[in-house]
Amino acid sequence: MRLFHCGFFAFWLLSPLSLYGQGEGLNVMSFNIRMPNPDDGFNYWPNRKDMAASMIRFYEADLVGVQEAFRSQLDDLSKLLPPFAWTGVCRTDGTTTPNPDNEFSAILYRTDRLELLESSTFWLSEHPDEAGKKGWDAALPRIVTWGKFRDKSTGKVFFHFNTHFDHMGKQSREESARLLLNKIREIAGAMPVVVTGDFNAQPTDAPIRIVTDPGNPHRLTDGYFVSQMPHHGPTGTWTNAFLFPGMPGQRIDYVLVKNGVSVLKHAILSDSWSGRLPSDHLPVWARVRVE
């Protein structure tokens, strides 16, 4: 028996699974943190902010694309997560100090691991450089915030794009998918790219089929399907208003990659505190490696 256990232990040490935690991978998270709505009652942001920060901290995220984040929430997360800085502007006016407060699709990043080289935001509309513009049949202005980063551990340079597609406009979501691909090609070229976002679309819906179209040389790849370790956790990310443990099959939040970014692990995180969730979306987490 002892020989068997030793042999098994040696096999485990040498197996590919044991190597997934090694190397210079980056932990990326897509996290719709839910706007601070007093009507949420028990699930109002002040009652969730510590849980949301704990998720980011425990899973050792290096990069977090947040959606529905008001400036007040970003300020809370900055206090709770001192290793992080953030970049982005508000969707309504293109400033960092909107009045009244409104949503950002900001990128949080660990300053001890990553150096922000450049960043900007464009609008998902026919006029992507005009702040506050609604696109097509969208109910609200929608944006993409991007950052160009250098990994201090490896020296590798890559881009991170973070977005939140409209929840009402079908045409808007489809046109946003096309615009996103075009802007990534324009901004990042052949550089490695990570994309996070709430696309308000399931994998079989048109927006996701557009951005992952195998016939398009500029497509993105869904980390769920190419993770070297099998996916961990539920398959849905939408909880239907904080219902635990979420809605099966409602996967509308993503980590996508292109241009030499490999996915080592992929998970949808359903951590709860006595049935309470940190948001009405489950965060998506992936460990990626910039080749």
DSSP string, 182-243: HHHHHHHTTS-EEEEEE-S--TTSHHHHHHT-TT-TT--EEHHHH-SSPPBS-S--B-TTT-
- Whether the per-residue pLDDT at 152 is higher than 80: the answer is yes
- Whether the per-residue pLDDT at 17 is higher than 50: the answer is no
Q: In this structure, is residue 4 part of a structural domain?
A: no
pLDDT value at residue 243: 86
Q: In this structure, is residue 8 part of a structural domain?
A: no
Strand order in the sheet with 193-198: 114-123, 143-151, 157-164, 193-198, 253-258, 221-222
pLDDT value at residue 1: 36
pLDDT value at residue 115: 98
Read off the DSSP letter of residue 275: T
Q: In this structure, is residue 57 part of a structural domain?
A: yes
- Whether the per-residue pLDDT at 108 is higher than 80: the answer is yes
Number of domains in the chain: 1
pLDDT value at residue 249: 75
Please state, in angstroms and rounded to a whole number, the distance separating the CA atoms of residues 291 and 286.
15
Q: At what angle do helices 71-80 and 49-58 cross, to 10 degrees?
A: 50
Q: In this structure, is residue 5 part of a structural domain?
A: no
Cβ pair 108, 66 in contact under 8 A:
yes
Full residue range of the structural domain in which residue 69 is found: 24-290
Q: In this structure, is residue 12 part of a structural domain?
A: no
Sorted by sequence, the CB contacts under 8 Å of residue 287 that are 6+ apart come out as 20, 25, 26, 27, 28, 263, 264, 265
Q: In this structure, is residue 28 part of a structural domain?
A: yes
Of residues 102 and 7, more confidence is placed in 102
Residue type at position 281: H
Cβ pair 116, 148 in contact under 8 A:
yes
Q: In this structure, is residue 6 part of a structural domain?
A: no
pLDDT tens-digit map of 172-184: 999 999 999 999 9
- What is the pTM for the complete model shown? 0.92
Domain CATH code at residue 77: 3.60.10.10
